[in-house]
């Protein structure tokens, strides 16, 4: 396999290998390391980019500066979707994104992000941390020459931005939509054309007519991207991504060179960021939604049940077709289904009955 | 205020102050510290005690042994509910429990744990981490001479263990029930007698008839406590504790003596543990519930809607009475309600509509 440079332009010269590192050997010999993290998000993008910054900060402070990490927004060093390749090639040490961006390398990796009608953030975390997901993830990422960490969650996403009402599955026929991962495969099965675009390109693509519709994450993120400027209808729920996880991937050789205390800091920092990213979305989404509707005239709509039912049938087919054609996908899906049956039963009995009962209550009336 | 020793017996002599520390000064002068963490949980108790162990492990590994923490189960050094006093007095450096255990010191502190018809784990995390809760918590704990960290969450709890069916609020009249916090106040308002007992005493109290009913946490925990041996009916949902948080409290002087890198490790470790404890419960509860029902003949029942509605009215009254009589409770409740309105609206639109739509789906049928 030809090793190519993913780094853009002369301003970032001298980073293509250890031999031309800009960081002096003496610092490393004192146990100090300076790494670079490329991300698939715009620099400091709410929740996602801020999550990457938080990760770097926790690691810097926790390691007493033994590992300093400079965070680069999408496109600053490499194109967003080249982030994993840059880490694999050792051009940078670390990256932050979401697994389904890498499914062209290993199809089953998409299940780590989210999958249609799959699991909520809480359930997905339980699977990765206590249900076998971490082991499967490490197996896949290590084949790519990377160490994997779970590193953030968006919670249930929104269903997407459209310029027409969605009344039946027919409204997806011929639609050009930005939607990645297994959700994209389902939309394709409904007759749409799909494309994956990084955050920075979505609004332009809507504007130019390259796409008719898009999903991104949810109100807090989507307001920041300005998607309301070019699409009017905002649909929920995000059946295709009910709890999308982010990933932190580290060049495996660089990871193995870290002393064990710094490794422990990186591990704890990732779990902490995984928690904090979700909390930021939970705390900020509704205010953003009110701004979208109240200030920007967005029309908020729930998908009709018939559309959700049709997508559920297609999701079944898409996921099972993938599992039938790819042994690893079969193994990952089987692992998920065993866990998921239990987790969904517990959610139904606990969160679902509680949140239903809560509407009997009226703190605000008192 | 008389400073008393909470430490039991001669086996733990010599720990009441720095002057009699069992850890040699040279170690401290090399920047090495050995602390002790008392907990309100039995040693290695599933989810709760294992959370405390995980916290100690992350801190030890992340600080490269600069801060080693020995974890003591409930009663090993001090009585469970004396844990905070032991930390305040400086007899030990750190503790792990849940805020409402300390509401006799500051009533408003109970809101930090959970409150009737309040918030799910995800919402409660959002409030503490991004909604103003951390600042209010630090204000209260620092008045007690402690540093506060959020350090675990049980998720939605179960409603409790009973020896009779609960058909109306009258069934609570005269009932002696173990139930702490604001939920206990609601039960009291329904005519029950309530008591708070630590984990280690609950089964004995049921056995001796000191109590007729109890709640603890949920299936994974309650199976470990053996509560099914002395109560037959297991009710859900836990309207009184929809997302109970744990706390890590540190003697403020000891905290302030920590170097900044160790402080950062402690902070990240607590957020990580907060996440992992919840994941452990999410991943384990349903299997435990199946064991309780299938193997131990437990009768699983949902509270009738009329009972949930009555408790919602009483909860309103209890929480608002507390806020009317206590300025700090007023301030904390007002802060919560501002945040909660947004968070609940978001949950309803996202998680609730998704989990409802999910039942259209059938991975397992395929």
Q: Can you give the residue range of the structural domain that contains A128?
A: 18-154+245-282
Q: Which of B261, B315, B352 sits opposite A361 (nearest CB)?
A: B315
CA-to-CA separations, B187 to A274, A299, B52, B128, B179, in angstroms, rounded:
36, 44, 30, 26, 8
**B209 vs chain A: nearest CA distance in angstroms?**
29
Span B18-33, average pLDDT: 56
Interchain CB contact of A123 with B (< 8 Å): yes
pLDDT in tens, B300-336: 999 999 999 999 999 999 999 999 999 999 999 999 9
Residue A309 belongs to some domain of the structure: yes
Sheet of strand A193-195, all strands in order from the earlier edge strand to the far edge: A193-195, A176-178, A213-214, A160-162, A233-236, A299-302
Residue B351 belongs to some domain of the structure: no
Q: How far apart are CA A28 and CA B146, in angstroms?
A: 38
Computed over every residue of chain A, the mean pLDDT equals 92
Question: Looking at the structure, do residues B36 and B67 belong to the same domain, yes or no?
Answer: yes
Partner A, chain B 278-297, Cβ-Cβ below 8 Å = 278-280, 282-287, 289
Interchain CB contact of B346 with A (< 8 Å): yes
**B189 vs chain A: nearest CA distance in angstroms?**
16
- To which H or E segment does residue A67 belong? strand A67-72
CATH number at residue A202: 3.40.190.10
Residue A361 belongs to some domain of the structure: no
B10 pLDDT higher than 60: no
Interchain CB contact of B20 with A (< 8 Å): no
Question: Looking at the structure, do residues B38 and B92 belong to the same domain, yes or no?
Answer: yes
Question: Looking at the structure, do residues A272 and A322 belong to the same domain, yes or no?
Answer: no
Question: Looking at the structure, do residues B218 and B69 belong to the same domain, yes or no?
Answer: no
Question: Looking at the structure, do residues A164 and A267 belong to the same domain, yes or no?
Answer: no
Partner A, chain B 205-264, Cβ-Cβ below 8 Å = 218, 236-239, 242, 259-261, 263-264
pLDDT in tens, B230-243: 999 999 999 999 99
CATH number at residue A94: 3.40.190.170
Question: In this predicted structure, what is the pLDDT of residue B29?
Answer: 58
Residue A323 belongs to some domain of the structure: yes
| Residues in A touching B358 (Cβ below 8 Å) | 117, 239, 242, 344
* CB–CB contact A363 B64 (8 Å): no
Question: Looking at the structure, do residues B133 and B93 belong to the same domain, yes or no?
Answer: yes
- B343 backbone dihedrals φ, ψ, rounded to 5°: -65, -40
B363 pLDDT higher than 80: no
Question: In this predicted structure, what is the pLDDT of residue A362?
Answer: 67
Determine the residue of chain B that is closest to A243 in CA distance: B351
Computed over every residue of chain B, the mean pLDDT equals 92
Interchain CB contact of A338 with B (< 8 Å): no
* CB–CB contact A279 B309 (8 Å): no
Cis peptide upstream of residue A124 (ω within 30 degrees of 0): no
The first and second tokens of residue B69, run together, are 């923490």
Residue B82 belongs to some domain of the structure: yes
Question: In this predicted structure, what is the pLDDT of residue B359?
Answer: 84
CA-to-CA separations, B320 to A81, A360, B103, B344, in angstroms, rounded:
52, 16, 16, 19
pLDDT in tens, B244-284: 999 999 999 999 999 999 999 999 999 999 999 999 999 99
Question: Looking at the structure, do residues B41 and B110 belong to the same domain, yes or no?
Answer: yes
Contact A65, A78 (CB under 8 A): no
pLDDT in tens, A340-366: 999 999 999 999 999 999 988 766 543
pLDDT in tens, A45-97: 999 999 999 999 999 999 999 999 999 999 999 999 999 999 999 999 999 99
Determine the residue of chain A that is closest to B265 in CA distance: A62
Residue B251 belongs to some domain of the structure: yes
pLDDT in tens, A255-278: 999 999 999 999 999 999 999 999
B2 pLDDT higher than 70: no
Contact A190, A311 (CB under 8 A): yes
Q: How far apart are CA A150 and CA A294, in angstroms?
A: 35
Instruction: State the Rg of chain A over Cα.
Output: 21
**B262 vs chain A: nearest CA distance in angstroms?**
6
Residue B293 belongs to some domain of the structure: yes
CA-to-CA separations, B138 to B82, B85, B99, B112, B313, in angstroms, rounded:
20, 17, 12, 11, 31
- Overall domain count for chain A: 2
**DSSP for A224-271, written as a single string:** HHTGGGT--EEEE--TT-SSPEEEEEEEHHHHHHS-HHHHHHHHHHHH
Q: How far apart are CA B250 and CA B256, in angstroms?
A: 10
Q: Place B3 in a pLDDT band, splitting at 50, 70 and 90.
A: very low
Q: What angle do CA A283, A353, A359 make, to 5 degrees?
A: 65
Q: Looking at chain A, list the stretches that DSSP marks H as alpha helix, in order from N- to C-terminal side.
A: 25-29, 49-62, 83-88, 110-113, 121-130, 133-143, 181-189, 199-208, 219-225, 252-257, 260-294, 305-325, 327-347, 353-357
Question: Looking at the structure, do residues B110 and B188 belong to the same domain, yes or no?
Answer: no
Determine the residue of chain A that is closest to B313 in CA distance: A361
Question: Looking at the structure, do residues B227 and B254 belong to the same domain, yes or no?
Answer: no
Task: Number of A to B CB contacts under 8 A, please give it.
Answer: 267
| Bigger pLDDT: A43 vs B20 | A43
Question: Looking at the structure, do residues A276 and A306 belong to the same domain, yes or no?
Answer: no
Question: Looking at the structure, do residues B209 and B298 belong to the same domain, yes or no?
Answer: yes
| Residues in B touching A158 (Cβ below 8 Å) | 350
Q: How far apart are CA B349 and CA A55, in angstroms?
A: 29
The helix/strand/coil state of A331 is helix
Instruction: Mention every residue, 6+ apart, whose C-beta is less than 8 A from residue B209.
Output: none
pLDDT in tens, A195-222: 999 999 999 999 999 999 999 999 999 9
Residue A2 belongs to some domain of the structure: no
Question: In this predicted structure, what is the pLDDT of residue A272?
Answer: 97
Could you tell me the pTM of the whole model? Answer: 0.92
Question: Looking at the structure, do residues B140 and B112 belong to the same domain, yes or no?
Answer: yes
Question: In this predicted structure, what is the pLDDT of residue B311?
Answer: 96
């Amino acid at each position: 396999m030809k090793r190519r440079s993913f780094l853009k332009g002369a301003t970032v010269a001298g980073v293509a290998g250890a031999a031309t590192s800009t960081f002096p050997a003496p610092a490393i010999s004192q146990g100090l390391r300076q790494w670079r993290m490329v991300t698939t998000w715009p620099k400091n993008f709410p929740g996602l980019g801020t999550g990457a910054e938080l990760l770097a900060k926790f690691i810097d402070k926790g390691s007493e500066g033994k590992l300093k990490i400079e965070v680069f927004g999408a496109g600053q060093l490499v194109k967003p979707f080249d982030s994993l390749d840059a880490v694999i090639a050792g051009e940078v040490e670390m990256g932050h994104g979401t697994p389904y961006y890498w499914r062209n390398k290993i199809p089953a990796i998409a299940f780590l992000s989210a999958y249609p009608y799959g699991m909520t953030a809480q359930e997905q975390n339980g699977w990765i941390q206590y249900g076998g997901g971490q082991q499967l993830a490490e197996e896949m990422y290590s084949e790519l020459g990377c160490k994997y960490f779970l590193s953030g969650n968006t919670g249930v996403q929104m269903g997407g931005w459209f310029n027409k009402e969605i009344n039946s599955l027919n409204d997806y026929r011929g639609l050009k939509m930005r939607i990645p991962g297994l959700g994209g495969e389902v939309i394709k099965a409904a007759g749409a054309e799909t494309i994956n675009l990084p955050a920075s390109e979505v609004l332009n693509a809507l504007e130019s007519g390259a796409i008719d519709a898009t999903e991104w994450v949810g109100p807090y993120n989507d307001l920041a991207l300005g998607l309301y400027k070019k699409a009017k209808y905002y649909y929920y729920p995000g059946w295709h991504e009910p709890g999308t996880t982010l990933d932190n991937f580290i060049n495996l050789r660089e990871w193995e060179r870290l002393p064990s205390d710094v490794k422990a800091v990186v591990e704890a920092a990732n779990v902490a960021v995984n928690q904090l990213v979700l909390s930021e979305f939970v705390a900020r989404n509704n205010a953003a939604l009110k701004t979208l509707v109240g200030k920007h005239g967005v029309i908020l709509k729930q998908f009709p049940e018939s559309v959700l039912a049709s997508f559920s049938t297609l999701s079944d087919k898409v996921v099972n077709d993938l599992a039938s054609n790819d042994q690893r996908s079969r193994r990952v899906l089987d692992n998920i289904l065993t866990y998921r049956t239990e987790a969904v039963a517990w959610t139904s009995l606990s969160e679902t009955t509680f949140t239903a009962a809560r509407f009997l209550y009226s703190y605000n009336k008192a």
